[in-house]
């Protein structure tokens, strides 16, 4: 039989009397008439009208629901609602009651939400089946006459729910079938969205109704010939489909969404059918007991009517029997709390608990049923690592039995978890090359193959002598790459270079392709053609890598390619005119930097010159390095050239490169190159361009070209006057120095006062051919110029003395003579002066209200205030520096390192003001000019009966403009007023020479001694020698610096103003 052919296991453990008799005690002598499970409870209805609710700890709560028998009971799976149908009396239609199991009254009885009498017009019927949708919106009740009562809406309330009698609905697909149904044995409601489907099992047929719309129900007959017994149908709802299982005597049939599905052969008369976690729980009559009872005499048969039942747990996914046993008097099956319970006729409760997955697998492993173990593990969502282990064990089992092909199929399923070396070692030892090849192919397909695996696979292809498999593997088109391309190329490179080239070209492995062509096949032209087909970036990279080798073997072709790459590269595979150019867009040229290719031509200057000339002609580069390199190789060719015409041509190219105005050539490097090659024309040009005039002069000295030397000095003496001195110094030891050359050099030195005569004499004294007569014209002219300079300076001293005396007289006049104020207009508003008015010594007059509103300080003359402040600040600065100078002299006497001290004071700016004496003298000269231009003195006063100038007021100082006279507001218009200063003020100004006089004297002395060759006091010829060792009088750093000079005048220069005195 088919049933016996199915594999049978014991995946459940039976536990007897799990409730310890609590249910039997609660029911008592009554008989269980119906039962249901859901919401964590077992619900039982008995023949006395009581309902018993059993919780998980087998605590039983009972209450009286009806006066007589409870016919049907249904517990919602996810909601605390209990629907019952029972009888309250004989001849009375049954009542429908809906209970809320979590709401109880004071007697611990659940709250009854609804009570409805179930009746069908003109008939007395018995309800046989009931089904409720999970959302409590639809309920169906079937009767023994084939009628079906449907409730829609909120079935918990009488007023909102509406009932419909479903009877005599014709199946449009089978018009000959009877409209009425036979006795209802099972119902199943399924609600998906707005679609509501009702599965109906009767005694004679299996039906399906679409009851989504009231009064428009549709009937479909699934099986018109045979139905099932009571409680032998079950509906299993899934997210995707509905499966309605029907148990008949010969098998269990499944209807999936109204279509006949798989069937499961289970022999015997069926009493119950239930669903538990993917298992079908079937309660059937024991065939063996029935045959035994049939053979007994009637007197013995009556006591054995109860017989035994067979409980079969069928795994629908794996089509195996998970449990099979004989049980006596099975009354009902209850499924809740992750197990299912068997309620016997004597109200004893047994439990069938499913074994854990590991126990199941261990049981299957003992029997070597790895295929079943895999199915069970997958169905129960075993983790991937566990599944991989089962596959491995299954593979090992098949391998041990010699089924290498089947084993490799299992090992393939472990890819990604099992180390490939585990399988490879097994099959390498057994020489199972074909099977191992299959495994390696699977490794590549999964993308987990390493380079070693690819190498091994390709070697196997070669070993099996199947080049078609090799090409099929490496040249695949319809699938993704599942191997290491580089490893495949490397293997094929040694076996079949042609295939390696095809593979490298297909997968754009340019490096491998060129390596094979150049290193293995020596196909240099083919390699260069391949590079020319690449994109710009790839071509640039590859030519940098292989360019040296290509240039060595095919120099002409490689040079042309490099020129194209560095000017305007375009792949040979591209069209000359692309779509963008046809649309009017200009293509931006792609070019590489030539710097990276120059070193390739080190041994081939001819090709390098060609390469660089092309680049420069095309304007593709502005890199100075390119021009410098071209110049270097030009000079190399010029040095090696013997043909004068060719050499002249090269010279013109070199000079054209050096004279280029764009400045692209590095002049410093070009200078080095020209000097190394002794290229005179370029060297002199670069010297002149870099303004290295002394280098030009030295070059002419080295070449002994005196005429060119003189021409250089004449040409560049304005830019660098020291060239004449340098020329004298360079030619001092020249044996061939001509007199005319020396004469011109000395004349230029004298003309520009470039050297002192003693230095000239000292320099020429080192020349081996020096004669004193050569210096006679030079010395005569120098001495004559010194005499002229002395006379000029003497005249300037006399002029300065006269000007100083005039300034002193002006100061004395200001101190002791009366001052007249004759101004009649205000210097601010230019209006006629009116009292009160203010007069200053500088002959500026103002209205008192004008100066108060205009000037910030009423004691200062606004027009003269700026000039006076500058003079006063200069005087104050000199007075402050006087103290600093004294401190400097004291520190200098005790310092160990005098030079460091002087440097420190210079950095602090102590001597900065010394350079301002000339400015102070200029300001004094300007002041004297202004005073001489006035008609009278500068101090002011005004006649007033209320004001008189104090006698001791100092009014003579031109540098104190804060003294002024005030005009009385009552005095008449002044014409000419006189104010006298005190004798004390005059004495204060005459006791010491004014600072301006001292400054003028110092400036005159400095200018008189500005001749770098000293005074004309030479012993023999009346000319002063600045290099004399006995000159202490004229040495500013000597001890006799304070002695009278040669003019008999005492130097009144303040030593405190000289930091070196």
Measured distance CA(332)–CA(43) in Å, rounded: 12
pLDDT attached to residue 240? 78
pLDDT surpassing 60 at residue 173: yes
Q: How many CB atoms lie within 10 A of CB 806?
A: 13
Contact assessment for residue 394 and residue 370, using Cβ atoms and an 8 Å cutoff: yes
Measured distance CA(760)–CA(463) in Å, rounded: 99
Q: Is 538 helix (H, G, I), strand (E, B) or coil?
A: helix
Averaged pLDDT for residues 191-210: 88
Residue predicted with more confidence, 764 or 1043: 764
In this prediction, residue 482 has a pLDDT band, given cuts at 50, 70 and 90, of low
Provide the edge-to-edge strand list for the sheet that holds 349-354: 12-15, 349-354, 339-344, 330-336
Averaged pLDDT for residues 935-963: 34
In this prediction, residue 738 has a pLDDT band, given cuts at 50, 70 and 90, of confident
User: What does residue 737 show for φ and ψ, rounded to 5 degrees?
Assistant: -70, 125
Contact assessment for residue 519 and residue 549, using Cβ atoms and an 8 Å cutoff: no
pLDDT surpassing 90 at residue 452: no
Query: Running DSSP on this structure, what letter comes out for residue 16?
Result: S
Helix (H) or strand (E) holding 187: strand 184-192
**What whole-number percentage of the chain has pLDDT above 70?**
76
Q: Which of 343, 393, 387 is nearest to 365 (CA)?
A: 393
pLDDT surpassing 60 at residue 709: yes
Measured CA distances, 638 to 631, 634, 854 (Å): 10, 6, 83
pLDDT surpassing 80 at residue 1016: no
Window from 171-175, 331-335, 495-499, 623-627 with minimum mean pLDDT: 171-175
Averaged pLDDT for residues 943-956: 32
560, two tokens: 């042309």
Averaged pLDDT for residues 190-195: 83
For Cα atoms 480, 486, 487, give the angle at the middle one, nearest 5 degrees.
Answer: 100
Cβ partners under 8 Å of residue 370, min gap 6: 364, 390, 393, 394, 397
pLDDT surpassing 60 at residue 271: yes
pLDDT attached to residue 141? 92
pLDDT attached to residue 170? 59
Provide the mean pLDDT of the chain. 76
Give just the sign of the alpha carbon dihedral 56, 62, 65, 68. positive
Window from 184-198, 611-625, 859-873 with minimum mean pLDDT: 611-625
pLDDT attached to residue 991? 37
Cα R_g (the chain), whole angstroms: 65
In this prediction, residue 175 has a pLDDT band, given cuts at 50, 70 and 90, of low
Measured distance CA(136)–CA(154) in Å, rounded: 7
Contact assessment for residue 905 and residue 1059, using Cβ atoms and an 8 Å cutoff: yes
Q: What is the pLDDT of residues 626-642, one digit of tens each?
A: 788 888 888 888 888 88
Window from 20-24, 472-476, 820-824 with minimum mean pLDDT: 472-476
796, two tokens: 């300037």
Helix (H) or strand (E) holding 46: strand 41-46
pLDDT attached to residue 1061? 39
Window from 37-51, 580-594, 692-706, 799-813 with minimum mean pLDDT: 580-594
Measured distance CA(961)–CA(930) in Å, rounded: 15
Residue predicted with more confidence, 900 or 464: 900
pLDDT attached to residue 253? 92
Q: What is the pLDDT of residues 369-419, one digit of tens each?
A: 888 888 888 888 888 888 888 888 888 888 888 888 888 888 888 888 888
Q: What is the pLDDT of residues 72-107, one digit of tens each?
A: 999 998 889 999 999 888 777 888 999 999 998 888
In this prediction, residue 883 has a pLDDT band, given cuts at 50, 70 and 90, of low
Averaged pLDDT for residues 209-221: 86
Cβ partners under 8 Å of residue 668, min gap 6: 690
**What whole-number percentage of the chain has pLDDT above 90?**
10
Q: What is the pLDDT of residues 987-1014, one digit of tens each?
A: 333 334 443 344 334 334 433 343 333 3
Query: Running DSSP on this structure, what letter comes out for residue 170?
Result: -
pLDDT attached to residue 716? 85
Which neighbouring-strand residues pair with 595? none
Residue predicted with more confidence, 708 or 606: 708
Q: What is the pLDDT of residues 566-584, one digit of tens each?
A: 888 888 766 555 555 556 5
Measured distance CA(681)–CA(861) in Å, rounded: 71
pLDDT attached to residue 232? 93
In this prediction, residue 843 has a pLDDT band, given cuts at 50, 70 and 90, of confident
pLDDT attached to residue 581? 54
Q: Is 148 helix (H, G, I), strand (E, B) or coil?
A: strand
Contact assessment for residue 118 and residue 96, using Cβ atoms and an 8 Å cutoff: yes
Give whichever of 163-177, 337-351, 487-501 has the largest mean pLDDT: 337-351
Residue 247 preceded by cis peptide, ω within 30: no
pLDDT surpassing 80 at residue 793: yes
pLDDT attached to residue 579? 57
Measured CA distances, 361 to 227, 261, 276, 318, 339 (Å): 38, 29, 20, 14, 19
pLDDT attached to residue 970? 32
Window from 273-287, 299-313, 547-561, 1031-1045 with minimum mean pLDDT: 1031-1045
Q: What is the pLDDT of residues 650-678, one digit of tens each?
A: 888 888 888 876 657 778 888 888 888 88
Measured CA distances, 617 to 620, 632, 826, 967 (Å): 8, 18, 80, 90
Query: Running DSSP on this structure, what letter comes out for residue 851?
Result: H
User: What does residue 1040 show for φ and ψ, rounded to 5 degrees?
Assistant: -95, 30
Window from 260-264, 760-764, 834-838 with minimum mean pLDDT: 760-764
Measured distance CA(183)–CA(906) in Å, rounded: 129
pLDDT attached to residue 701? 84
DSSP E strands in 618-730: the ranges are none
pLDDT attached to residue 777? 82
pLDDT attached to residue 83? 93
Contact assessment for residue 275 and residue 242, using Cβ atoms and an 8 Å cutoff: no
Provide the edge-to-edge strand list for the sheet that holds 32-38: 32-38, 41-46, 50-54, 60-64
Averaged pLDDT for residues 285-292: 64
Measured CA distances, 909 to 579, 655, 882, 915, 1061 (Å): 75, 52, 13, 11, 18
Averaged pLDDT for residues 298-304: 42
* Helix, strand, coil % in the chain, rounded to nearest 5: 45, 20, 40
Measured distance CA(967)–CA(945) in Å, rounded: 10
Which neighbouring-strand residues pair with 966? 838
Which neighbouring-strand residues pair with 838? 846, 966
pLDDT attached to residue 51? 93
> Distance from CA of residue 484 to its chain's centroid?
31
Provide the edge-to-edge strand list for the sheet that holds 259-264: 233-237, 242-247, 252-256, 259-264
pLDDT surpassing 90 at residue 933: no
Residue predicted with more confidence, 983 or 1060: 1060
Measured distance CA(313)–CA(316) in Å, rounded: 9
Measured distance CA(279)–CA(354) in Å, rounded: 11
Window from 170-184, 298-312, 692-706, 978-992 with minimum mean pLDDT: 978-992
Pairing between β-strand 252-256 and β-strand 242-247 as defined by DSSP bridges: antiparallel
904, two tokens: 């420190």
pLDDT attached to residue 1002? 38
756, two tokens: 């002192």
In this prediction, residue 507 has a pLDDT band, given cuts at 50, 70 and 90, of confident
pLDDT attached to residue 613? 80
SS (H, E, C) 884-936: HHHHHHHHHHHCCCHHHHHHHHHHCCCCHHHHHHHHHHHHHHHHHHHHHHCCC
User: What does residue 867 show for φ and ψ, rounded to 5 degrees?
Assistant: -65, -40
Measured distance CA(133)–CA(33) in Å, rounded: 23
Residue predicted with more confidence, 9 or 998: 9
Residue predicted with more confidence, 22 or 298: 22
Contact assessment for residue 641 and residue 612, using Cβ atoms and an 8 Å cutoff: no
Measured distance CA(417)–CA(94) in Å, rounded: 64
């Amino acid at each position: 039989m088919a049933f016996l052919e199915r594999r049978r296991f014991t995946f459940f453990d039976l536990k007897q009397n799990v409730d310890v008799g609590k249910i039997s005690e609660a029911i008592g002598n009554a008989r269980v008439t119906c039962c249901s499970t859901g919401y964590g409870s077992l619900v039982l209805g008995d023949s006395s009208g009581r309902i018993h609710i059993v919780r998980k700890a087998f605590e039983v709560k009972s209450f009286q629901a009806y006066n007589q028998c409870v016919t049907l009971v249904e517990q919602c799976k996810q909601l605390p609602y209990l629907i019952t149908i029972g009888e309250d009396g004989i001849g009375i239609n049954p009542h429908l009651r809906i209970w809320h199991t979590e709401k109880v009254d004071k007697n611990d009885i659940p709250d009854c939400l609804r009570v409805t009498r179930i009746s069908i017009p003109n008939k007395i019927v018995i309800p046989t089946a009931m089904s409720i949708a999970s959302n409590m919106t639809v309920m169906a009740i079937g009767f023994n006459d084939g009628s079906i009562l449907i409730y829609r809406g909120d079935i918990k309330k009488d007023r909102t729910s509406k009932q419909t009698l479903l009877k005599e609905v014709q199946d449009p697909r089978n018009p000959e079938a009877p409209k009425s149904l036979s006795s209802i044995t099972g119902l199943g409601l399924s609600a998906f969205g707005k679609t509501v489907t009702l599965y109906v099992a009767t005694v004679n047929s299996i039906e399906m109704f679409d009851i989504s719309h009231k009064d428009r129900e549709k009937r479909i007959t699934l099986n018109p010939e045979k139905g099932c017994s009571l409680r032998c149908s079950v509906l299993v709802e899934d997210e995707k489909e509905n499966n309605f299982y029907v148990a008949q005597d010969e098998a269990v049939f499944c209807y999936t969404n109204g279509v006949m599905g798989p069937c499961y052969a289970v022999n015997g008369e069926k009493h119950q059918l239930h669903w538990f976690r993917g298992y079908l729980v079937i309660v059937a009559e024991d065939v063996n007991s029935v045959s035994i009872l049939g053979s007994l005499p009637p007197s013995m048969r009556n006591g054995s009517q109860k017989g035994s039942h067979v409980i079969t747990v069928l795994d629908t996914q794996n089509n195996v029997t998970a449990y099979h046993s004989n049980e006596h008097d099975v009354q009902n099956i209850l499924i809740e709390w992750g197990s299912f319970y068997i309620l016997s006729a004597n109200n004893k409760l047994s439990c069938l608990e499913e074994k854990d997955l590991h126990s199941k697998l261990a049981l299957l492993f003992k029997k070597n049923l790895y295929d079943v173990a895999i199915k069970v593990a997958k169905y129960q969502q075993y983790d991937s690592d566990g599944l991989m282990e089962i596959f491995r064990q299954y593979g090992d089992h098949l391998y041990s039995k010699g089924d290498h092909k089947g084993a490799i199929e299992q090992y393939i399923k472990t890819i990604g978890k099992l180390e490939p070396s585990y399988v490879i070692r097994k099959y390498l030892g057994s020489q199972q090359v074909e099977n191992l090849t299959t495994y390696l192919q699977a490794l590549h397909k999964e993308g987990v193959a390493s380079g070693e695996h690819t190498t091994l696979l390709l070697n196997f292809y070669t070993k099996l002598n199947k080049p078609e498999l090799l090409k099929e593997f490496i040249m695949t088109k319809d699938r993704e790459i599942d191997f290491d391309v580089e490893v495949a190329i490397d293997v094929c490179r040694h076996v079949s270079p042609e295939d390696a080239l095809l593979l490298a070209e297909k997968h754009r492995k340019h490096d491998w392709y060129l390596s094979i062509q150049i290193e293995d096949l020596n196909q240099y032209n083919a390699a260069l053609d391949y590079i020319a087909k690449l994109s710009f970036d790839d071509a640039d990279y590859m030519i940098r890598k292989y360019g040296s080798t290509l240039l060595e073997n095919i120099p002409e072709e490689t040079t042309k390619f490099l020129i194209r790459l560095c000017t305007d590269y375009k792949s040979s595979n591209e069209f000359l005119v692309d779509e963008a150019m046809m649309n009017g867009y200009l293509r931006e040229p792609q070019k590489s930097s030539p710097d990276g290719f120059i070193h390739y031509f080190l041994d081939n200057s001819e090709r390098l010159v060609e390469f660089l000339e092309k680049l420069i002609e095309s304007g593709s580069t502005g890199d100075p390095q390119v021009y410098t390199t071209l110049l270097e190789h030009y000079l190399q060719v010029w040095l090696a050239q013997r043909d004068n015409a060719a050499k002249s041509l090269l010279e013109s190219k070199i000079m054209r490169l050096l004279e280029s105005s764009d400045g692209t050539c590095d002049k410093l490097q070009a200078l080095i190159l020209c000097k190394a090659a002794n290229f005179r024309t370029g060297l002199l040009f670069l010297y002149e361009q870099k303004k290295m005039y002394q280098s030009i002069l030295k070059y002419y000295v080295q070449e002994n070209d005196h005429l060119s030397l003189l021409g250089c000095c004449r040409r560049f003496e304005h830019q660098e006057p020291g060239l004449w001195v340098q020329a004298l110094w360079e030619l001092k030891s020249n044996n061939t120095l001509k007199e005319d050359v020396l004469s011109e050099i000395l004349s230029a030195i004298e003309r520009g006062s470039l050297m002192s005569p003693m230095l000239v004499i000292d320099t020429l004294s080192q020349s081996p051919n020096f004669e004193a007569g050569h210096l006679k014209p030079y010395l005569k002219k120098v001495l004559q110029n010194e005499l002229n300079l002395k006379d000029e300076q003497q005249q300037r001293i006399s002029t300065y003395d006269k000007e100083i005396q005039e300034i002193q007289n002006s100061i004395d006049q200001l101190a002791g003579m009366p001052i007249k104020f004759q101004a009649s207009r205000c210097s601010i508003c230019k209006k006629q002066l009116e009292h009160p008015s203010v007069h200053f010594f500088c002959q500026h007059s103002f209205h008192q209200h004008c100066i108060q509103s205009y000037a910030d300080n009423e004691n200062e003359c606004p027009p003269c205030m700026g000039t006076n402040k500058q003079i006063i600040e200069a005087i104050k600065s000199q007075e402050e520096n006087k103290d600093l100078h004294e401190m400097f002299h004291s520190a200098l006497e005790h310092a160990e390192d005098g030079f460091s001290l002087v440097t420190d004071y210079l950095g602090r700016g102590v001597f900065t003001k010394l350079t301002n004496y000339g400015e102070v003298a200029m300001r004094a000269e300007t002041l004297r000019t202004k005073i001489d231009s006035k008609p009278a003195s500068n101090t002011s006063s005004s006649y007033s009966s209320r004001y008189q100038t104090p006698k001791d007021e100092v009014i003579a100082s031109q540098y104190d403009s804060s003294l002024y006279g005030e005009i009385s507001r009552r005095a008449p218009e002044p014409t000419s007023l006189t104010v006298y200063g005190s004798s004390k003020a005059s004495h204060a100004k005459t006791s010491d020479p004014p600072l301006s006089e001292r400054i003028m004297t110092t400036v005159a002395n400095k200018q008189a001694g500005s001749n770098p060759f000293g005074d004309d006091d030479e012993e023999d010829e009346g000319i002063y020698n600045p290099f004399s060792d006995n000159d202490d009088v004229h040495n500013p750093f000597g001890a006799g610096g304070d002695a009278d000079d040669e003019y008999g005048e005492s130097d009144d220069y303040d030593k405190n103003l000289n930091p070196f005195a």
